[in-house]
A and B are shown apart, each in its own frame.
Chain A
Amino acid sequence: GAVVSQHPSWVICKSGTSVKIECRSLDFQATTMFWYRQFPKQSLMLMATSNEGSKATYEQGVEKDKFLINHASLTLSTLTVTSAHPEDSSFYICSAELSGSYEQYFGPGTRLTVT
């Protein structure tokens, strides 16, 4: 149980284009989903918290107009990296919180490379 999927698992895009990453909770409903970013050999950094049906809460230093988050249903959240640049290349990981448990279950991650 508590499986989270991400799509795509990896993507290469050209500088200036936009990329959308999907995060789905497959066997449970998630009121709250999280988006993290991880650089090589570093810890996960929380980018934003999204609650179903409301606007995402972004961490300090994360540009909300660049990283668009939509949480339209209890099983799906999307992250769109707009006008991507090489410095946006990273490993993006989503998680979904099991309601009432404070347990986060993570997706397998999406490796984004911007050329």
Chain B
Amino acid sequence: LAKTTQPISMDSYEGQEVNITCSHNNIATNDYITWYQQFPSQGPRFIIQGYKTKVTNEVASLFIPADRKSSTLSLPRVSLSDTAVYYCLVVFVTSGTYKYIFGTGTRLKVLA
């Protein structure tokens, strides 16, 4: 059964680095991992996407170990405006069809 799991919530203080992990044991060989940020009553916003090792852009880094059974989104020096729900999205191949499954979401609260 395809499944992605994330911690339900995390608290952090402004200026700290935050790492959010997503577990995806059944990920397929050629599938990508994507992370999104969502504010209340808005659509998810693309943060970063990766396949293996490490990817970095202007807002985040994504670390993916060799076995690809998990991935970690790293947000450097968070601010109050980073308070949101963060989701990983993984594509699973099941019986020859692709299934796009969002993680359970991690509610990040940044404190002053």
Name A residues whose Cβ lies closer than 8 Å to a Cβ of B.
2, 4, 6, 34, 42-46, 49, 57, 91, 93, 95, 101-109, 111
The distance from the CB of B27 to the nearest CB of chain A, in whole angstroms, is 13
Smallest CB separation, A95 vs chain B (Å): 8
| Cα distance, A91 to B40, chains bound together (Å) | 11
A-B pairs under 8 A by CB, number:
50
Q: Interface size bucket, B side?
A: 20 to 34
Give the complex CA separation of A110 and B41 in angstroms.
9
Write out the residue numbers on chain B whose beta carbons fall within 8 Å of the beta carbon of A2: 46
Interface residues of B (CB under 8 A from A): 32, 34, 36, 41-46, 49, 87, 89, 91, 97, 99-105
From the candidates A44, A101, A105, name the one contacting B102 in the complex (CB within 8 A): A44
Chain B residues whose C-beta falls within 8 Å of the C-beta of A44 in the assembled complex: 44, 87, 102
